[in-house]
Amino acid sequence: MMDLWQLQIFCKVIELRSFSKAGQAVRLSQPTVSSHIKDLEAHFSTQLIDRMSRQVFPTKAGELLYDYAHQLIALRDKAEAAMAEFSGEIRGRITIGGSTIPGGYLLPRIIGLFSNAYPDVRISMMVGDTSEILEKTMSGHIEVSIVGALTKEKILTQSALVEDEMVLVVPDPVSLIINGSFNSSGNLIRLRRAHL
């Protein structure tokens, strides 16, 4: 018989592309993770994972199951959050995505502050390039994301969060001019004033 716990383990194996990493994530031994996957494969009478390479990849059947398993787990999480909210509590799970810069510099601080305020909310974070994070947000694998570029995708709601300021840094502007990098000091001034 299949249960949500097995599906959650299966999703971790697919997401982390490794039985051992999935085991660490769910705090189970690698053989126990393998046993749960074999049970799922027996339940569906089909192979769900390609075990031929070092990394783990889902078969076509595994890809199909992954999509449904992810939806079931998300629905369970929503039900838990709704019942907690009904009881006046704030708890549950949320997955936050960030492109490279926000994921490395903005999100850790924001997540830390949020976790201090809401300790019963479990947060997981995914970091990737903007297109990857937007794709995972549109597919429902990420609930909220912070990226450095606007998208034209109509199914996503976007809002400016912070303004980023960039500055030109040179060791010595005079040496740039003398060495011929700029043919006049006016070019450096124009470059500094340009809105890139």
Same-domain check for residues 10 and 69: yes
Per the structure, the complete domain to which residue 174 belongs is given by: 165-196
Same-domain check for residues 98 and 42: no
Same-domain check for residues 7 and 50: yes
Same-domain check for residues 146 and 169: no
Q: Tell me the average pLDDT across 73-79.
A: 88
81, 105, 129 — which closes off a domain? 81
Q: Look at the pTM and tell me if it is higher than 0.85.
A: no
- DSSP string of 39-104, one letter each residue: HHHHHHTS--EE-SSSS-EE-HHHHHHHHHHHHHHHHHHHHHHHHHHHTT---EEEEEEEEHHIII
Q: Tell me the average pLDDT across 137-149.
A: 87
| Tens of pLDDT, residues 42-61 | 999 999 999 877 888 999 99
CATH number of the structural domain spanning residue 150? 3.40.190.10
Same-domain check for residues 143 and 177: no
Q: What is the rounded distance in angstroms from the CA atom of residue 167 to the CA atom of residue 196?
A: 10
CATH number of the structural domain spanning residue 66? 1.10.10.10
Whether residue 175 has pLDDT greater than 60: no
24, 59, 81 — which closes off a domain? 81
CB 121 within 8 A of CB 91: yes
Same-domain check for residues 145 and 173: no
Same-domain check for residues 191 and 117: no
81, 102, 120 — which closes off a domain? 81
| Tens of pLDDT, residues 77-87 | 889 888 888 88
Q: What is the rounded distance in angstroms from the CA atom of residue 149 to the CA atom of residue 171?
A: 30
Same-domain check for residues 47 and 6: yes
How far CA 67 is from CA of 8, 45, 56, 164, 186, in Å, comes to 12, 18, 16, 36, 58
Decide: residue 104, CB within 10 A, 0-12 exposed, 13-18 middle, 19+ buried: exposed
